[in-house]
Amino acid sequence: SENWGLITYRTVDVMFDEQTSGASTRERVAEVVQHELAHQWFGNLVTMDFWDGLWLNEGFATWMSWYSCNKFYPEWKIWQSFVTGDLQSALSLDSLRSSHPIEVPVKRADEVNQIFDAISYSKGSCVLRMISAYLGEQTFLEGIRRYIKKHAYGNTKTEDLWAALSDASGKPVEKIMDIWTKNVGYPVVTVTENEGSNTIHVKQNRFLRTGDVRP
């Protein structure tokens, strides 16, 4: 639990044997420890305004745990595990009709626990990784520094994050990213070539595991 200044862990999340524990155990311990440490900034120092911004806590802490693991242990090639782990978890859940947007409206108290899932954690971290790649790592980190500095000891909405990143990069981040956080699912692009007319036709639809989406 990411209590401010007093993080508590289960024993299994912090203990490993250097002689017998495998690589996956070491990675899990490093990831969990750094996830909860990240919450000291993302969740405690700066807290989401309401539950529809949960991903600002959990998506950020998830992304930061992978980012810091990669910095501390580059030999682990941790981003490869991210693709087979968090990315695939997000894609799997988001391909269902029952999925929800990253910024999901919460109207009743009994809906809160339902959004602590792969969308808030894994898809949230995936879109952060995506915008970091688009803006460039250093520009992205500068935007995050501005976001934390401006909103320290306060509450934020997703648009506050986009504003900080836009300020740091000079790019319309909110316009780019709203479609990824306010909408459910992700696209599949189908390209058809017509050799007779020497043209191609590009079609984009939401990807569903059942494959029954119509144009």
For 40-68, how does the pLDDT look when each residue is reduced to its tens digit (9 = 90+)?
Answer: 999 999 999 999 999 999 999 999 999 99
Where are the domains positioned within the chain?
11-185
Mean pLDDT along residues 86-93: 92
100: annotated binding-site residue?
A: no
Region 135-155: what's the mean pLDDT?
A: 98
User: Sorting pLDDT into bands at 50, 70 and 90, what band is 21?
Assistant: confident
Phi-psi region of 203 (alpha: psi -120 to 50; beta: other; left: phi over 0): beta
Ligand-binding site membership of 58 (annotated): yes
Percent pLDDT > 90 in the chain is 77
Query: What are the helix (H) ranges across 45-94?
Result: 54-72, 78-82, 88-94
Rounded CA-CA distance 82/175 in Å is: 26
Q: What is the structure's pLDDT at 215?
A: 52
- Tell whether residue 35 is among the known ligand binding residues: yes
Mean pLDDT, residues 70-97 taken together: 92
- The partner residues of 154 in beta bridges, in order of sequence, read 46
* Confidence bin at 154 (pLDDT 50/70/90): very high
Residues near 183 by Cβ (< 8 Å), separated by ≥ 6?
101
Tokens linked to 106: 């919460």
Q: Which fold has domain 11-185?
A: Neutral Protease; domain 2 (1.10.390)
pLDDT of residue 4: 86
36 counts as catalytic: yes
Indicate the pLDDT class of residue 212, thresholds 50, 70 and 90.
low
Give the model confidence (pLDDT) of 104-134 as tens digits: 999 999 899 999 999 999 999 999 999 999 9
pLDDT range class, residue 164, cuts 50, 70, 90: very high
Taking the CB of residue 113, how many other CB atoms lie within 10 A of it?
Answer: 8
Which among 27, 31, 36, 103 is annotated as catalytic?
A: 36
Q: What is the pLDDT of residue 214?
A: 58
Q: With the CA atoms of 153, 13, 10 and 34 taken in that order, what torsion angle do they form, in degrees rounded to the nearest 10?
A: -10
pLDDT-above-70 percentage for the chain: 98
